[in-house]
Structure 1
């Protein structure tokens, strides 16, 4: 059985819906927190802004590669589909094992808890009593909306994407006002303390992680209208908007707080707003961050459920997981499974280490996913493609090389987390063969 069975997904997402998925999947809570980490590892505002621009360009190389892959195989499942065709069922299963069953629900649980933190702070609820119920309730609500199909989920996402962009615009305006026109200090460089290459890569790590999440649109490719044209355009438009937002937000942080103030801040957006509006400003940006994280959860649940459904339709999970509802054309069983497991993680509080353990696996999946492009180019050499990544093979090689360098640096700095990530992937191997053996006996 394949993922393209009846009832099937309906192609209801236009270019703006698809671009909103890219923006919402990338911009979560990271930009409101990780800027301080990057500032700690640099010595001037010019260095910091340069790293955010470089990170955006490097991520764009991966996005362009995903654009060609999505145009070649515009089906739900994304990387799972590419790995299955290029390298076989086992690598595809290992991707699904680590991402759809571990990383997606772990990330959703972590970000839903962040949403609950900011939501409770904004309306004055006690975090100790309400964070877990609010986080679990947010996940249940998102799953419920997505039960009605991709169009309902997309409408909700568009609203929250608009709200998060409004919050970012507010931060930028406040930073410009606080700068009092002294923009030269923001762009001043520190020629006495240039960053050595190793330090550049270390400072680039949190930048690249903050740019993560651009792959969710490929998970939902089976529901995009005219995908061969829409996917490349939406990916480029969405990530281009993200790069502009990230550079402007960091400029605002530097303008309002200064480089040293940004490096010392634990919540730069709140500190920036507090300087101009007091505690009301901090509360207002808390609402904006809550909207941003809520939108991310919606995309991660929708995308992850499509990967689970595709695996179920392939026989890699129980048949019920692979079903698509005949009226809503939504993978309801997969949505319930993913959302339910994420709620368990929120209530138990066990998601933090799980996300840390699967970070290396996530980036490995990106590297192997992009590597399938070489197979497609060779296997279908004479087949015309609606979109081809420019500067091939330089762009995919640059992205894969950068990702592998990030993994190496991460393994050096966090050998325990990297080792556990690889162990979780390895555990999937006996699970795969045990599942196949059970299927053969049941046949």
Structure 2
């Protein structure tokens, strides 16, 4: 067998592609972030509204991307779309941000979540078990486990797309069935329903009292909010729901390995995002049934799903959720790792990333790209908390989604006769609504959480000089 393959092998079916979409989206977020959402908006109606707005944005963006995936059915996805709609600099800024924070920080955050819930079963693997101290840097057993998970899944994916496909389809199927089961049992088995009590809050938005640093006070008062303050609260709340719904676009990065990509990518985007949106909304309705709103806002150890499962199953419920989240985050990270490396591969083919990244190994996968992605994600595991990573990822990712959808309008003008197996659903109204919502979210997130949104924007802008350095080296 040759040392290097020359092209990707199209071996993923529509079902496989849909499992990549759904599996990459469902990680740890749905089990955790509803607490922060509740603290920000303080009512059952607005809690569900946040998830519905996010679901609408996600599905709208996904079906809009269907048009782009049909036009450019090749590896690289969003990087390619931005390059074709705008210019190579726009594509590079996305690819650089993808490597520096969007994909690698998501991999790190999901791996850390895997560690947190493993520690629920094996306390020695928790964040409180400090293994090494280097100056101000403290390395815990949880961080080491997170890095070990990334290394293991990266190694598995260097052995070819088939192994990654099996892991993805198996783990995604298990977590979809588990989540549906948990939701149904939450309505059938719970001893005391808080449904009527929680819905008395209706759409009366409130948020918990905050201290001078902007942190919520656990036993503080619930204060009414409205007007622009409500928009800001919704934007802050949506950080968690958007993180939980992100990575749906990962399937576009592996277009070169999907059978009939012009048809199957767009269809998998729609099916995957629809399935996940239904799960997320119904899971939150289940939370409202089994827990009082105050316990959703402040569950034991920030684990709203654990509190819900304990209410349903008793003490064993905590272990049920811990295992579910381990399965969910394991499968989610596999999808993220599998797909992400294809972006760096395509950038390298354009002469805009490390040359070695643009080669395939004998198993027809970009092995070097996989390993540098793992290294970057490992570094991010050692820095920043879960929440900090969420703020950076949400801001940068949504900003690029909006810019990419603007690219649909540009390409309609630039290439009116190009083949479009799919056309953006609801064009131009729904794409415009998405762009407006995304930009409003981004502006208010900068106001609400300026530090980490600012860091995210700074990372994007550092790509400008790096692009010109890459172009100069390419010419040389």
User: Same fold by TM-score, threshold 0.5 exceeded?
Assistant: yes
* Map of 1:402 onto structure 2: 437
**2-structure distance, mates of 1:191, 1:437:** 58
Query: Cα 1:209–1:192, aligned 2, differ >3 Å: closer, same or farther?
Result: closer
Tell me the residue number matched to 2:136.
Answer: none
Cα distance in 2, alignment partners of residues 191 and 252 from structure 1:
16
Matched, 1:164 2:175: yes
Q: Deviations over 1:21-55 (max 9, x none)?
A: 11112111111111122222344434432332232
Please give the per-residue CA displacement for 1:177-206, whole angstroms capped at 9, x wherever unaligned: 354595861783546836745425633523
1:54–1:191 Cα change, 3 Å: same
Q: Counterpart in 2 of 1:210?
A: 244
Contact 1:103 1:354 in 2 (8 A): no
Please say if residues 41 and 233 of structure 2, whose CA atoms lie closer than 8 Å, have aligned partners that are also in contact. no
CA spacing shift, 1:53–1:427, aligned 2, 3 Å: closer
The aligned counterpart of 2:138 is none
Partner of 1:312: 348
Tell me the CA shift for residue 313 of structure 1: 1.0
- The equivalent of 1:143 in structure 2 is 154
Structure 1 stretch displaced more, 276-285 or 368-377: 276-285
- Say yes or no: does 1:258 pair with 2:269: no
Counterpart for residue 83 of structure 1: 82
Q: Residue 22 of structure 2 contacts residue 172 of structure 2 at CA under 8 Å; is this kept in 1?
A: yes
Residues 44-71 of structure 1 show CA distances to partners (whole Å, capped at 9, x for unaligned) of 4344323322321222111111111111
Residue 102 and residue 208 in structure 1: after superposition, are their counterparts in 2 closer, same or farther (change >3 A)?
A: closer
Q: Find the residue that maps to 2:292 and give its secondary structure.
A: helix
The Cα shift of 1:340 comes to 2.2
1:364-389 Cα distance to aligned partner (Å, 9 max, x none): 21111111111221122123411111
Question: Equivalents in 2 of 1:197, 1:32: separation in Å?
Answer: 30
Residue 173 in structure 1 maps to residue 184 in structure 2:
yes
User: CA contact under 8 A between 2:118 and 2:322: conserved in structure 1?
Assistant: yes
Of the three residues 312, 320, 330, the one matched with 1:294 is 330
Mapped contact 1:61–1:398 kept (Cα < 8 A): no
- Please give the root-mean-square deviation of Cα atoms over the aligned residues, in Å: 2.3
| C-alpha distance in structure 1 between counterparts of 2:145 and 2:203, whole Å | 49
Aligned residues: 435
1:394 and 1:408 map into 2 onto residues whose CA distance is: 21
Which residue matches 1:382?
Answer: 417
Matches within 5 A, 1:321-340: 321-325=357-361, 327-340=362-375
From 419, 422, 429, the equivalent of 2:457 is: 422
TM (normalized to structure 1)? 0.91
- The CA distance in 2 between the partners of 1:345 and 1:207, in whole Å, is 21
Using the alignment, how far apart are the partners of 2:338 and 2:197 within structure 1? 40
SS at match of 1:41: helix
Higher mean displacement: 203-212 or 10-19? 203-212
Equivalent-residue separation in structure 2 for 1:372 and 1:192 (angstroms): 36
**TM-score of the aligned structures, taking structure 2 as reference length:** 0.85
Match of 2:106 in 1: 107
| CA 357–272 in structure 1, closer or farther in 2 if over 3 Å, else same | closer
Residue 11 (structure 1) shift: 1.2
Q: Does 1:371 align with 2:406?
A: yes
CA contact 1:22–1:216 (8 Å) conserved in 2: yes
Shift of 1:391: 1.9
Q: What 5-or-longer segments of structure 2 have no aligned partner? A: 132-140, 206-224
Specify which structure has the higher proportion of helix: 1
Distance 1:159 1:232 in 2: 22
Judging changes above 3 Å, is the alpha-carbon distance between structure 1 residues 239 and 192 closer, same or farther for their aligned structure 2 residues? closer
Once residues 187 and 154 of structure 2 are traced to their aligned partners in structure 1, the CA distance between those partners, rounded to angstroms, is 39
> Structure 1, residues 310-353: CA drift from partner, whole Å, max 9, x if none?
1111100122110112x31111110111112222333x335755
Q: Within the alignment, does 1:436 sit opposite 2:476 as a pair?
A: no
Alignment of 1:68-79 (within 5 A): 68-79=67-78
- Bigger mean CA offset, 144-153 vs 303-312: 144-153
Structure 1's 61 and 186: CA in aligned 2 closer, same or farther, altered over 3 A?
farther
Native 8 Å contact 1:186 1:251 kept in 2: no
